[in-house]
Amino acid sequence: MNIKKSVLLIILILIIDQWSKIYIKTHFVLGESVDVFNWFKILFIENEGAAWGAKLSDILPISDSIGKLILTIFRLFAIFGIGYWLYDVIKKESSRTLIVAVSLIFAGALGNILDSVFYGVVFNDSYNEVASLFSSEPYGQLFYGKVVDMLYFPMVDATWPQWVPFFGGENFRFFEPVFNIADTAISTGVGILLVFNKRAFKKEDEENETVLESSETSDDQDALKV
């Protein structure tokens, strides 16, 4: 897979991701929900933290704003790291599976960092009103944007039986997290690496074996000369 195809895949994911987020921001009030099926809803929420809404301020003695800034800067460094990884695997002509997986991870990470960096200065608040794009009254500052999530799949909504230890009588819902297209791309890329690990790294393993065999052959020839 060459760099052009990788870039096209990344651009396609970014377009779908950003279009869906901008549409939700400019058509939904925060917390608004639309039922698509019984097991699939469009639910507009905003995530100020990391995965599952976790915040650095929950585990470190820092303010929410400082924690948000640190998280955004960390994501920027991560983007550069993933970008270099993608460049490296393409340059080495690694397996198509590996390039696709890394491209998906890069596209997803970039999609969410766009929210974190820019959304605070291009949208107004979504509380009790539909936000406007390029608002004259933005809700935040550069690097302080909130990630837009909207995909919700409550496929199972039940109550644990009373006899179940620890959880008896409590509500059980699967799948509870709300996510977006960028999250889906990242999860898909990671899933490909986990499920198709041998196929993804096959070319690199073959090259390592070739280098090892060449080294062993060279050592044997040197031994014969002695």
- Say if residues 105 and 186 touch (Cβ distance below 8 Å): yes
Q: Which domain holds residue 50?
A: 3-195
Residues 86 and 191 both lie in one domain: yes
Q: Active-site residue numbers?
A: 149, 183
Residues 46 and 149 both lie in one domain: yes
Residues 109 and 174 both lie in one domain: yes
Tell me the two tokens of residue 205.
């393993």
- Rounded to two decimals, what is the model's pTM? 0.84
What CA–CA distance (Å, rounded) separates 164 from 198?
A: 40
Residues 167 and 221 both lie in one domain: no
What DSSP designation does 77 have?
H
Residues 124 and 161 both lie in one domain: yes
**Straight-line distance from the first to the last Cα atom of the chain, in angstroms, rounded to the nearest whole number:** 46
Residues 143 and 207 both lie in one domain: no
Query: How many domains in the chain?
Result: 2
Residues 32 and 73 both lie in one domain: yes
pLDDT band at 50 (very low <50, low <70, confident <90, very high): low
Residues 214 and 134 both lie in one domain: no
Residues 173 and 206 both lie in one domain: no
Residues 110 and 204 both lie in one domain: no
Omega within 30 of 0 (cis) for the link into 153:
no
Percent of the chain with pLDDT over 90: 62
Residues 55 and 83 both lie in one domain: yes
Residues 176 and 207 both lie in one domain: no
In tens, the pLDDT along 64-112 reads 788 888 889 999 999 999 999 999 999 999 999 999 999 999 999 999 9
Q: How far is CA 176 from the centre of its chain?
A: 17
Q: Lowest-confidence range among 46-55, 137-146, 167-176, 206-215? A: 206-215
- Say if residues 71 and 87 touch (Cβ distance below 8 Å): no
